Structure 1
Amino acid sequence: MTFRKFLKTLKAVKNCSPSTLSSKPYHQHLPDLISKFLAISKPLNASTLSDLNPTIFHDILANPDLKPSKCFHFFNLVVKNQSLVSFKPDLQAHLTLISRLLKARLFSDAESVLKSLSINENPRYPFLVIASAVENCCFESKVMAKFFNLMLKVYSDNGEFGEVAKTFDYMKNNGIKIDERTCTVHLIALKGADELGLALDFFYQMVETGLEISVYSLTAVVDGLCRNGDIKKGREMVEEMAGRGIKANVITYNTLIDSCAKRWNFEELDLVLGLMEKGGVEFNIETYKFLIDGYTSYGKIKEADRLVEEMHDKGLRVDTYLYNLMINGYLKSGSLESVLLLFDRMSNRCIKPNVDTYWPLINAYSNVREMEVAMKYVHEMQNKGFELDKVIYDMLIDRFCLNGMVDEAFELRIEMERKGFHADISLCNQMGKLLCEMYQTEKAKMLLNIMIKRGICPKSLSFTSAIS
């Protein structure tokens, strides 16, 4: 059946008297006819849709025997072929479809239609026009609440923050139930758009409206304040909300702790930890990580060490990452002995080292010209299955050359080449010059030939004149 025949049949069915349609009333014929139409695979044209009018279109969308999903499919088909239709779906058609989709819990489809109504340039209706039309539609209270909460979300997702404020005020003034989770999503959107002032205003409106504020909304605002560098205000808000019965959780406190630790703001950190203790909120693994990271980077190694031991005492998992932070902290303070003790503790507690564990230790020993000890850890690292990267190779070759150990540097360069890495030109110049100074011209010539094969111009190599 073509769509034109479908519409003529539809008109005929509608105009027939009840005696003529003894089998089914008019509205019960629509589902079968629409289903047949939606199954048509042929492309539509102007003559196909010429008989469709607003009355028939609305009748189809409002028909109770037609599934909302089929109405949505039909609506989209008409919208996509707008140039072939003599009318545009009006506000009433949009609202009728949205209402049905919301009742059927097809929220994603309802959001799509609402977006076309309120955001898209065509047909885009102002908020007050939409709100007034919804009032006239006499939506059920639950459907109305779903509609306006969805409207708030659509405006927020599309950066229409002024319209969100209008929607929120309208809902508050008309006693429409506001979904706190939708408000939380809006707070996150404001934070992401760097509209912290609007986020704070909206949050306090939520509080004053009497909404049951969740910890997620509180955390979203505190996170925005911390990202903006206003940790003190974030901590004061947590304190203020606690007085109103809105308690922060460990995620909220971790947001504050992470910001304090990264900025080395230990004075504010002590106040946050005191507030956390007063609220009876226990540390989790993330809390310890933020604190240990902050303490070790600043040089408060003893405080960090105490926290690691506290984690072990509580049976919390202490991973390699935390020990690596400790190792770097001790090395910055020049305490190699403490690092070796940490290695023993890791071994005793079955915590496996990784490349980031070995690298600072190898670097530290090679810096103090303890190349034999440095290579001991290199071999230990390789025996555990960790491969050296170009950075480590370059560093070791440089340190060997600085210590006059040119043969070791040359052998390491050969190993490096076998692994597919190329030493920097500056390192090759350094090695070639040292080989010439130690009268190892054959190795210097070998190095020169390798560099030339790599496409390096001999003129850029400073040791070529020394060979000749």
Structure 2
Amino acid sequence: MHRPSLNTAKKTIFRHQNPFLDLPFLTNNLLNQIHRYPFVFSFKFSSIQSPYSPPSSSLQIIDTSDAKPLSSPLSTFLPYTHNPNNLVDLICLNLKLNDGNAVSLREEVQWVLPQLGTHEISRVLCRCQSSPLSALNFFNWVKFDLGLRPSVQNYCIIVHILVWSQEFSQSMKFLVELANGECPSLVVFKNLVSCTEDCNWNPIVFDILVKAYVKVGNVEEGLKAFKEIVKIGLLPSVSASNAVLNGLLKSNRVDECWEMYNEMGRVGIPSNGFTFNILTHVLCRDGDVGKVNEFLEKMEEEGFDPDVVTYNTLINSYCKKCRLDDAFYLYRIMYRRGVPPDLVTYTALMKGLCKENKVKEAHQLFHQMIHRGLDPDTVAYNSLISGYCKEGKMQKARLLFNEMVSSGLMPDDITCRLLIQGYRMEGRLLSSLNLIAQLQRLGVLIPSDIYNYLVFALCQDNRPNAANSLFQRMVADGGEGNLETYNCLIVSYCKFDSINEALALKDEMAREGLKPDLLTYRALISCLCRLSVRKAELLTKEMVEAGPRDLLNCFVIGALFEGHAGRRNLIQKNDLFSNSFKEYGARCTKTVNALAELDCSSINYANLHLLEKKLLPVGISPTRLFYHSLISKLSGYVSGQPVFA
């Protein structure tokens, strides 16, 4: 086959260089010649589309981070917007003309968009350094519009641009994305360093890197980044150092906190008030009393006077650990160093004293606080009320409550709970109910858990009517009853065979959208078995239809058996036995004993023997009570005097 000469091919291409010719014809002809004469052209296009064909809906992105720009002279024959070599210029020009807006960017560069890789993204970002808005819009366009995952280098360049422009929050956001993506901090650090050759940069970028990893909870990576910054001769800021220090504290790495603090001093990072407050909490975790004075002196040497927050943190920690001597030692030091204790200080000390059952000393400290011009708040009163309730001295606790109300302070839910639980321990439910009435008159909103607590207490005290009355008051106040509270009331009513009230509560549950559970049905069925076995069977049927069959367990079946046994209903008993074992698989000792008692009481040896034969195939071994009933039956039969009358 005759192959056209090279000159013939070139003439065919250059024949259409007239600018007035149809541009699509030129482009298609050029593509045809490239296809026919591959030996002439040494370059390849990943995808070039004819202007007549619509652009592909799915963009194929090729990573060209290591690729070189197309340098074939034939690319000059393509239109400017179709030339891959002009990709970066096209993007930057579009961003400049549109004031950094990237809305029309896809349409403008659609012909060369497949050539966009991480290398081109970095070039565009570097050229947009003078316009951080354009750089940010382009970066977000790549991420969200194109759906690409920028490289670590792309992230580092945009971060440098944003930090240089003092857009610290946005730069933190991007570094947090890298940290959440489980990218090691050393990789990000090296890329940030390498990008400083082409980017304007600010050393603050490395502080933000440390904070980003600590922020996502990866303290170890933040600490590694901190050490790398020191290695290259940069000095991290005290805020970045504090971030690492606080992260170590939250991770309970107490020993490393002191190592970090010593490293800050070694490299010359000055401490500030936040540093010492963090170390104060470290001291509370450490528990080394000898370090406290040394630490306070160190603060003063560096020009920071310990403030009331520092002392309160230490005192509160000591009180929680029952180290009252150390707490009061610091309390006395505060006066010597010119730091007057505040309300928080006194409240912490009173709580510590009450915890050690030293309520009298706590009350003395309370009066001392008032004499020094401090007005107690609700928390301070609650501390003393808690101590007196713990000791069972409810009269003094109630006097403090009245004193608090008269001074204009509003009791809170903690006050209510302390007093009600104190009265409950003393068995004074009436006093608790009177307190609830008083609080309501004061306009205090009683929490639902306090109402529920009293409802349970009244039910345990066998006072279902009073419990239900209090429960209805809670509902009227906007509280919502839960399944446990309803069950408690239903069980309490069923205990006294008040079945109508119990069923009314069950209907109320349904209106509130609460579904009765096994405990609800067990209480109701057991109660009905004592009153009306027929109604108990109807409720059992309702229970099975309303829920899974495993609700019908041996306790419910046993209750039905006991109900039939009490009425010597042999026919119903046998039917129930068959249905229970055949349909529901209910088998338990309670059921077997009920059957044994029923058969023995009927003086029917044949029934007992038949029952024994029924139990063994279903895997139930007759109990000692069963055989005791059988023996008693036989001995009574022989003597002519039945045991069960």
Query: Could you tell me which of 49, 71, 89 is aligned with 2:113?
Result: 49
Q: What TM-score comes out, normalization by structure 1 length?
A: 0.72
**Structure 1 equivalent of residue 453 of structure 2:** 391
**Structure 1 equivalent of residue 139 of structure 2:** 75
Q: Which amino acid aligns with 2:451?
A: D
**Structure 1 equivalent of residue 289 of structure 2:** 232
Query: Could you tell me which of 298, 306, 310 is aligned with 1:252?
Result: 310
8 A contact 1:393–1:416 mirrored in 2: yes
Q: Which amino acid aligns with 2:208?
A: L
Distance 1:359 1:162 in 2: 43
SS in structure 1 at match of 2:271: coil
Greater Cα shift, 323-332 or 241-250: 241-250
Q: Which amino acid aligns with 2:166?
A: R
8 A contact 1:180–1:214 mirrored in 2: yes
- Residue 300 (1) aligns with residue 358 (2): yes
Superposition RMSD in Å: 4.6
Distance 2:100 2:422 in 1: 78
8 A contact 2:392–2:426 mirrored in 1: no
**Structure 1 equivalent of residue 586 of structure 2:** none
Query: Could you tell me which of 444, 450, 465 is aligned with 1:410?
Result: 465
Query: Could you tell me which of 103, 120, 126 is aligned with 1:39?
Result: 103
8 A contact 2:350–2:362 mirrored in 1: yes
SS in structure 2 at match of 1:334: coil
Cα offset for 1:98?
3.5
Cα offset for 1:329?
0.8
The runs of 5 or more residues in structure 2 that have no matched partner are 1-54, 60-78, 476-480, 510-519, 532-565, 567-645
Cα offset for 1:205?
0.9
**Structure 1 equivalent of residue 401 of structure 2:** 343
Distance 1:456 1:462 in 2: 10
**Structure 1 equivalent of residue 625 of structure 2:** none
Q: What TM-score comes out, normalization by structure 2 length?
A: 0.55
Greater Cα shift, 182-191 or 381-390: 381-390
- Residue 290 (1) aligns with residue 352 (2): no
Q: Which amino acid aligns with 1:103?
A: W
**Structure 2 equivalent of residue 109 of structure 1:** 170
Larger radius of gyration: 2
Cα offset for 1:212?
2.1
Distance 2:92 2:488 in 1: 86
SS in structure 1 at match of 2:125: helix
Distance 2:360 2:81 in 1: 82
Q: Which amino acid aligns with 1:252?
A: T
Greater Cα shift, 450-459 or 290-299: 450-459
8 A contact 1:94–1:113 mirrored in 2: yes
Matched ranges for 1:62-461 at <5 A? 62-63=126-127, 66-78=130-142, 91=153, 96-114=157-175, 126=187, 129-130=190-191, 133=194, 136=197, 143-158=201-216, 161=219, 164-165=222-223, 167-172=225-230, 176-226=234-284, 228=285, 230=287, 232=289, 235=292, 238-242=295-299, 244-245=301-302, 246-365=304-423, 367-368=425-426, 373-386=431-444, 387=446, 389-399=451-461, 401=462, 410-417=465-472, 419-420=474-475, 444=498, 446-447=500-501, 450=504, 456-457=521-522, 458-461=524-527
Distance 2:368 2:257 in 1: 38
Cα offset for 1:213?
0.6
Distance 1:207 1:69 in 2: 40
> Which of 1 and 2 has higher RCO (CA within 8 Å, sep 6+)?
1
8 A contact 1:239–1:275 mirrored in 2: no
Q: Which amino acid aligns with 1:238?
A: F
SS in structure 2 at match of 1:126: helix
8 A contact 2:92–2:124 mirrored in 1: no
Q: Which amino acid aligns with 1:326?
A: L
Mark the CA change 1:298 to 1:371 in structure 2 (over 3 Å): closer, same or farther. same
8 A contact 2:210–2:226 mirrored in 1: yes
Cα offset for 1:367?
5.0
Distance 1:213 1:197 in 2: 18
Q: Which amino acid aligns with 1:67?
A: S
Aligned length: 433
SS in structure 2 at match of 1:350: coil
Deviations 1:75-116 (A, max 9, x none): 34345688989xx8684x665543332221112333455567
Q: Which amino acid aligns with 1:105?
A: Q
8 A contact 1:324–1:357 mirrored in 2: yes
Deviations 1:324-377 (A, max 9, x none): 221221122232342243234224422233454345445545654556655543
Cα offset for 1:70?
1.0
The runs of 5 or more residues in structure 1 that have no matched partner are 15-25, 436-440
Distance 1:129 1:308 in 2: 59
8 A contact 2:315–2:327 mirrored in 1: yes
Mark the CA change 1:130 to 1:374 in structure 2 (over 3 Å): closer, same or farther. closer
Greater Cα shift, 256-265 or 363-372: 363-372
Cα offset for 1:38?
1.1
Mark the CA change 1:196 to 1:340 in structure 2 (over 3 Å): closer, same or farther. closer
Greater Cα shift, 287-296 or 444-453: 444-453
8 A contact 2:223–2:244 mirrored in 1: no
Identical aligned residues as a percent:
19
Cα offset for 1:165?
4.5
8 A contact 1:102–1:146 mirrored in 2: yes
SS in structure 1 at match of 2:234: coil
Mark the CA change 1:124 to 1:8 in structure 2 (over 3 Å): closer, same or farther. farther
Distance 1:275 1:389 in 2: 46
